[in-house]
Amino acid sequence: MPTSIHPETEIGAVRLKITNMEVSLRFYQEVIGFRILKRVDNVAELTVDGFRAILILEENNQFRRIPERSVSGLYHFAILVPDRLSLGAALRNMAHHKISLGQGDHLVSEALYLNDPDGNGIEVYADRPRDTWQRNGQGEIVMTTDPVDIDGLLSISEGAEWNGLPPQTKIGHVHFHVGDLQAAKHFYCDVLGFDVILRYGSSALFISAGGYHHHIGLNVWAGAGAPPTPEDAVGLRYFTITVPDLHALQEVEQRIAAEGLVFERNANGNAISLSDPFGIGMRIVVSKKEKGE
């Protein structure tokens, strides 16, 4: 049985816990650029193409906000726009709304960082062409954090009309605080099958499928042994890993079962749900593109 997850694996929809739907919808539509796909009771599904939800908001006004870097859980989820022009247009829109931003040029990508109204971390980024990515002597993709060329982004997007996120936008990666990096590596790499792309000393690990710079970031910046995010706190409900076909899903499921981990299979047999060792929820699903939906 293959030990690596299918190379066409990607990150799919992310579901967040929030406290105020109206406030969050205004933010995610006006500042980030999503559109509402569906809203039922306390749940709203957001889209970029009008067909597929890539962000799901779950409201409960009793959810509480906890101090940053105090638990295992969401560090940020990352919205990948298709090109530098789109990133510049997003930057212009955020500036129009007077949003406080962080930023980082990671060599493989240029990224903007911000928080939603509940403090959930967001990255909006554009990749550089894969053939420009560099590797070090150990074969790892070289990433760093340099200042972003803000003037260049503003220049390339001058005159660009803001119509929200382009329809090709997707969730590019997710990044988590975990309580033990070795336990995280075992689960995500040895069991799920992601490949190590870059080790950031002993504090962070970047992993992916198919040679991408990272689909998942893992760090211990919340401290060794950081407890799970409480159920009654804002943060991540779950994230989605998409695989291209049922065979790829079954390979992952076999490794999960061999490890003796608890998981649930849906009625159609095309998705499984489980949590990592730190209480981070996930769903592994067959891509809807494969099923022609």
Distance CA 53, CA 258 (A): 32
Q: Burial code of 187-208, b = ≥16 C-beta within 10 A, e = fewer?
A: bbbebbbbbebbeeeeebbbbb
In this prediction, residues 22-35 reach a mean pLDDT of 98
Q: What is the pLDDT of residues 36-48, one digit of tens each?
A: 999 999 999 999 9
Q: What is the pLDDT of residues 216-242, one digit of tens each?
A: 999 999 999 999 999 999 999 999 999
Q: Do 34 and 272 form a contact (C-beta atoms < 8 A)?
A: no
Q: What is the pLDDT of residues 87-125, one digit of tens each?
A: 999 999 999 999 999 999 999 999 999 999 999 999 999
Pairing of strands 10-18, 53-59: parallel
Distance CA 198, CA 128 (A): 17
**Res. 2 pLDDT band, cuts 50 70 90:** low
3-class DSSP string for 178-197:
CCCHHHHHHHHHHHCCCEEE
> Among 3.30.70.20, 3.40.30.10, 3.90.226.10, 3.10.180.10, what is the CATH number of 10-291?
3.10.180.10
Q: Do 108 and 128 form a contact (C-beta atoms < 8 A)?
A: yes
